[in-house]
């Protein structure tokens, strides 16, 4: 299995999971042009993709999908509720009927999935699980191939018992470290209601939330934890890293974790992670 983040942050989220035979793009929140450019940096073209998975309808996860679909022929794996929300939730650019354009682009392409039911794309098994977020049907997932497990979850407001269980035994965990609670409180750009939304139980996972999970619940099995969806306004990459690394060191030392923390970036792809 191989994993690469093409970009992650409030402005757009897209990553790729590959087996020897199968290449899957997850979310299309960057522009189609930027996705194509970053796929090329990673040695791929859009026509190499065997499927696109959409986790939820927020624009930072679907903003580039419609245009991308004119350059790829693969299916889009999306839940019925999310597909419906994709057609009615968008930022209007005042340029015609975006809803109709989206429906046209998706014609014959959607494969209905459920946010808590196993599905396969090629030889990669996906086990999605519901996460608490203010979208209609958001999910995280564990992807499996050849005995390797990769977990990916962003856009969730708090840890649940189900999520804790799903993260056990994974080789790589791509997980949200959205904001610093102090920086969010002090952020002069966001208004009060947006701050409330981000900090709520159905908002976004903070550096401190992630640190709690790492210290108290992380089983130490993942070789890599990639910090994802960092806010450009209410977080600082160095702070997110030090918070996570400190939390890792504070784990009970019964099973010393040899886990490497990597930051994802909104403007450039990560390295490839290979297993």
Q: Which residues bind Zn ion (CB under 5 A)?
A: 58, 60, 155
Beta-bridge partners for 175 = 153, 227
Task: In whole angstroms, give the CA distance from residue 83 to residue 86.
Answer: 5
60 vs 137, beta carbon nearer Zn ion: 60
165 touches 83 (CB < 8 A)? no
Q: How far is the CB of 111 from Zn ion (least distance, A)?
A: 22
Q: How far is the CB of 181 from Zn ion (least distance, A)?
A: 18
30 vs 42, beta carbon nearer Zn ion: 30
50 vs 60, beta carbon nearer Zn ion: 60
4 touches 274 (CB < 8 A)? no
Task: In whole angstroms, give the CA distance from residue 218 to residue 222.
Answer: 9
**Six-digit token string for 201:** 């139980």
10 vs 145, beta carbon nearer Zn ion: 10
Q: How far is the CB of 83 from Zn ion (least distance, A)?
A: 16
229 vs 251, beta carbon nearer Zn ion: 229
101 vs 197, beta carbon nearer Zn ion: 197
Task: In whole angstroms, give the CA distance from residue 132 to residue 164.
Answer: 13
| CA distances in angstroms from 66 to 41, 132, 137, listed in the order given | 22, 26, 20
210 vs 248, beta carbon nearer Zn ion: 210
Task: In whole angstroms, give the CA distance from residue 101 to residue 37.
Answer: 23
**Six-digit token string for 227:** 């910090």
Task: In whole angstroms, give the CA distance from residue 31 to residue 36.
Answer: 9
Three-state SS at 57? coil
Three-state SS at 150? strand
Rg (CA), the chain: 18
Q: How far is the CB of 29 from Zn ion (least distance, A)?
A: 7
Q: How far is the CB of 51 from Zn ion (least distance, A)?
A: 20
Q: How far is the CB of 8 from Zn ion (least distance, A)?
A: 9
Count CB atoms within 10 A of the CB of residue 100. 10
Q: How far is the CB of 155 from Zn ion (least distance, A)?
A: 4
């Amino acid at each position: 299995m191989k994993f690469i983040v093409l970009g992650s942050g409030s402005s757009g989220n897209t990553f790729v999971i590959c087996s020897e035979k199968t290449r899957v793009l997850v979310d299309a929140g960057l522009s189609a042009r930027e996705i194509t450019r970053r796929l090329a940096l990673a040695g791929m073209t859009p026509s190499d993709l065997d499927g696109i998975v959409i986790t939820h309808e927020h624009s930072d996860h679907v903003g580039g999908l419609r245009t991308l679909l004119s350059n790829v022929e693969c299916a889009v794996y999306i839940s019925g509720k999310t597909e419906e929300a994709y057609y009615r939730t968008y930022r209007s650019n005042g340029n015609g009927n975006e809803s109709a354009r989206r429906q046209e682009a998706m014609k014959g392409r959607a494969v209905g999935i459920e946010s808590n039911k196993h599905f396969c794309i090629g030889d990669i098994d996906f086990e999605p699980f519901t996460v608490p977020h203010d979208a209609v049907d958001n999910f995280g997932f564990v992807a499996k191939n050849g005995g390797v497990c990769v977990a990916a979850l962003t856009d969730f407001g708090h840890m649940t018992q189900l999520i804790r269980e799903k993260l056990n035994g994974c080789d790589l965990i791509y997980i949200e470290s959205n904001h610093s609670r102090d920086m969010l409180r002090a952020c002069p750009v966001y208004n009060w209601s947006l701050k409330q939304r981000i900090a709520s139980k159905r908002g976004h996972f903070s550096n401190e939330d992630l640190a709690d999970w790492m210290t108290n619940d992380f089983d130490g099995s993942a070789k890599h934890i990639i910090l994802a969806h960092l806010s450009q306004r209410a977080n600082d990459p160095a702070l997110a890293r030090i918070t996570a690394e400190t939390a890792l060191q504070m784990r009970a030392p019964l099973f010393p974790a040899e886990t490497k923390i990597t930051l994802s970036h909104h403007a450039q792809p990560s390295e490839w992670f290979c297993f």
